[in-house]
Structure 1
Amino acid sequence: MDTLFFIYSFVFGALVGSFLNVVIFRLPEEGQSVIFPASHCPKCNTKLRWFENIPILSWLALRGKCRTCKAPISLQYPVVELCMALLSGALYRNFGPSFALFYYFLFVAALLVVIFIDLHHQIIPDKISLPGIVIGFLGSFLNPIVTWQQAGLGILIGGGILYGVAVGYALLTGKEGMGGGDIKLLAMIGAFLGWQSLLYVVFASSLVGSLIGGLSLLLQKKDSQTRIPFGPFLSLAALSWLFFQDGILAGWQWYLRVL
């Protein structure tokens, strides 16, 4: 029975991932609806038939090309669908059929959208983070894992940490180093995961972001200026805390004992 429900979760996640692709491509565009028009080829605008819209499988069957105009279809489509399917299955394995499963399903779906939109456009839409803060806090009253007090402090501390960093950086350098989207995203993460997750999330995302940024500077031309979005690193750190919190805490305690 557990295996069957895991399969259901995986398939449902893939279906939701198909919708998330629509959100990722349309939400940053002003005036675009995520509901209408129906799914279509972005090149020739041909409406997709049902068998061309099956998550993951349709992209493979079509070999990554539109059936009508043969234009290439972005690899992002099956990647997002597969990621959401795997995350959905992992949530079921972690929480089983419970409120936490539904609650954190919304959370990981929002983080997945944030990752890809921030990578493409270097923005984190308020339409994702602000409702996420509210949903995260209200859901904490029913969440058996994070209390409403922990969620409330997570919002205040999460938003406050990055706001302080952003203000300090601006005062020292005269430049904006962090956007408001990152601040609101960390507040949303605090709402869902509680204040106790924030030290790890900030540390892990900053560490990985610094490593990627340093590598990018080494590989790029000297006269080029590439801005690396921070949202994906915050999101990935939040996901790792959600699924591997016990292992992370055990590793931290071992590290403190060694010191």
Structure 2
Amino acid sequence: MNLYPAAISNTMLCSAVLIGAVLGSFYACAVYRYIAGQTLINPPRSMCPDCGHQIKWYENIPLLSYIFLKGKCSACEVTISHMYPVIECGSILWAVLLLFAYGPSPLWIMYMFFGGLMIVASFIDLKTFILPDIITIPGSILAIPCAALFTNLGWEGAILGAGIGGGLFWSLRLLYRGLKGIEGLGLGDVKIMFMIGALAGPQNLPLVITVSAFTALCSGLIMMVVDRKREYGSMIPFGPFLALGSMLSILYAEPFWIWYLQG
């Protein structure tokens, strides 16, 4: 018996899980190497950052290797960062949810690509407070034609969304700096909003920004409760919350607006 919607077969679901896992492993590698100042091709093989042990192929199977190794390097037994399974699980979840939302379509491929960019950028931002130009600039450039060609936004909607998203955050950045004399939003947030705005379009941008701001506020309050030493106004990276708002919009904006307008 097929437990999934009629358009989604078990084979499609398994394929989405496999693709999500493999891409998640690549995303985690990209995050680690960027933070470590390495490139995707140098060093040619992944290694333990503590002892230099070269990772064997069977130690690099997404999720399974982490479980079998009990989260430790096989050579020195230092703890492997939880970032790896978290990113891999996130990538699998993204692939599966997109499959249910769009089926095996060009939109699935497009949103897998941009979702991957946002996952990598988010984890780099969490670690470094930087949204890398190598992700945000190409992503912004590609988002407009992709959204124009593969969604119902068209060129006008994609360009308008990018302009409003990036322009709004650029204005907020200047306003905050003028009022407070310090940076409240980084340029990386502005650049990634060009990409997010193009994908969301002007109609869904308010939804993206509202969800992003709300989740950032809730996370900040939770961190203040957990860490009593954290002061009000302490910086938190906003990129991950923008990515979360964008990804939720990609998945659920259409059913949300249908529910809202009918209610």
Q: Please give the TM-score of this superposition, normalised by the length of structure 2.
A: 0.90
Alignment gaps of 5+ in structure 2: 1-7
Query: Are 1:91 and 2:98 counterparts?
Result: yes
Q: Aligned partners of 2:243, 2:233: CA distance in 1, in Å?
A: 24
Contact 2:148–2:157 at 8 Å: present in 1 too?
no
Cα offset, 1:43, TM superposition: 1.2
The secondary structure found in structure 2 opposite 1:140 is helix
Map 1:192-203; keep pairs closer than 5 Å.
Answer: 192-203=199-210
Which residue pairs with 1:234 in the alignment? 242
CA deviation profile, 1:128-148 (whole Å, cap 9, x unmatched): 111001111121242034322
2:13 is the counterpart of 1:33: no
Equivalences for residues 63-102 of structure 1 within 5 A: 63-102=70-109
How many angstroms does 1:251 deviate by? 4.9
Structure 2 distance, partners of 1:85, 1:99, is: 18
Q: Aligned AA for 2:20?
A: G
Q: For the Cα contact (< 8 Å) 1:66–1:72, is it kept in 2?
A: yes
Where do 5+ consecutive residues of structure 1 fail to align?
none
CA distance in structure 2 between the partners assigned to 1:80 and 1:141 by the alignment: 29
Query: Could you tell me which amino acid in structure 1 is paired with residue 242 of structure 2?
Result: L
Tell me by how many angstroms 1:242 deviates: 0.8
Q: How big is each residue's C-alpha offset from its partner over 1:29-77, in whole Å with a ceiling of 9 and x where there is no partner?
A: 44x2112321211111111111101000000000000111111101111
Alignment of 1:159-198 (within 5 A): 159-198=166-205
Aligned residue pairs, count? 254
2:223–2:230 contact (8 Å) kept in structure 1: no
Q: State the superposition RMSD in angstroms.
A: 1.9
Over residues 218-257 of structure 1, what are the superposed CA-to-partner deviations in whole Å (9 max), with x where a residue is unaligned? Answer: 5432669731111111111111111111332245436xx6
Report the equivalent of 2:146.
139
In the TM superposition, residue 182 of structure 1 has moved relative to its aligned partner by 0.6
Q: What is the distance in 1 between the residues matched to 2:195 and 2:151?
A: 18
